[in-house]
Amino acid sequence: MSGRRRSPTQGSRSPRDIAEDRTAPEHQDRERGGENQDASSGSTSVQHVEINESADGQRLDNFLMAQFRGVPRSVIYRIIRKGEVRVNKGRAKAVTRLQVGDIVRLPPVRTKSTPAIARPSSAVLEALELPLFEDEHLLIINKPSGLAVHSGTGIESGLIEQLRVARPELDFAELAHRLDRATSGCLIIAKSRSVLTSLHDSLRGDDVRLEKIYTALLRGDVGTSRRVIDTPVGEREARSIFTLERVVGDEHLQASLVKIDLLTGRNHQARIHAESIGHPVAGDDRHGDRKFNRSMRTVGLKRLFLHASLLSFAHPVTDMPVIARAPLPGRLEKVLEALDTEAV
């Protein structure tokens, strides 16, 4: 595009030329985009980062969040506003899109130290050993329940941080979407910025080729075999289709196994829609029924009975159909077996 900015370092130079330039003294303080270790640990001097393909097209504010982990957003926006952050020696806005070859000036910023991840958990290693789908562009794994997808308050390392340690050969690895910590099943990781952007557009938009199916156990007998739910989530429109698979248990403890087709992707959508029709998800400690959850524990349910069982979409690069299926975890199968036994 003729309107795009061009860095003074951009042009016909090859990756080899750029790599050789970095050995020169005047370039030794530059690191690749997204991998500036000095910046993320809290440097006392100015750093210069040269943007590579992993950060191409990323907003400046989001790039800085990754560079200065542990720094409040208010600080990030303040150093941008005051001009302490520069792109190709000029001021830039938070929404500025970075390009390969851009040089970003990072000012000294005090950050919280991030503890090193000793090694990935056995759950992460197992998921990586048996991926549901993988090629050079993306990876789909079967996320176990109880594992947060990323670090946060009280969580030193999530799945994505551990994955990067387990797969150091990946130059880029980012979550294309999220699953709740208690939810298991299909999870997509993008291996490049362009693939991530394409997947975001598909997952958040109205792509008719996208299919997201969850398996859930709901309180009681839902009655109708198919129900369309249009209850808003927050202030946003949301739509799900609930399809009854079978009713399990007896009059003392009854539940419905359903398939939930999420036509939109709102936070906690399946759980909120289940609650809205009076049949909350078993094991849901936020939108569920405490008495029902206590009863479900007697048949072995110790987690949320919600599983992302199928993802189907057009490949962001080849446009070929990608279908990933995650089998129901054994512990959830045993819960169904226990309820069937009680009904005999």
pLDDT digits (tens, 9 = 90+) for 12-49: 444 334 333 433 333 333 343 444 434 444 556 899 99
pLDDT digits (tens, 9 = 90+) for 47-84: 999 998 878 888 999 889 888 877 888 889 999 999 99
Which listed residue (102, 180, 284, 289) is catalytic? 180
pLDDT digits (tens, 9 = 90+) for 219-262: 999 998 999 999 999 889 999 999 999 999 998 999 999 999 99
- The per-type count for the chain, helices as H runs and strands as E runs, is 10, 14
The angle at the Cα of 185, spanning 218 to 35, to the nearest 5 degrees, equals: 140
pLDDT of residue 102: 94
Backbone dihedral region for residue 319 (phi beyond 0: left; psi -120 to 50: alpha; all else: beta): left
Q: Please report, to the nearest 10 degrees, the dihedral formed by the alpha carbons of residues 273, 274, 280, 286 taken in order.
A: -30
The values of phi and psi at residue 233, to 5°, are -110, 110
Choosing among 3.40.605.10, 2.60.120.380, 3.40.1010.10, 3.30.2350.10, the CATH entry for 122-343 is: 3.30.2350.10
Percent of the chain at pLDDT > 90 equals 62
Fold of 15-106: 3.10.290
180 catalytic? Reply is yes
pLDDT of residue 86: 95
Domain-wise residue ranges, the chain: 15-106, 122-343
Label each residue of 21-54 as H, E or C.
HCCCHHHCCEEECCCCHHHHCCCCCCEEEECCHH
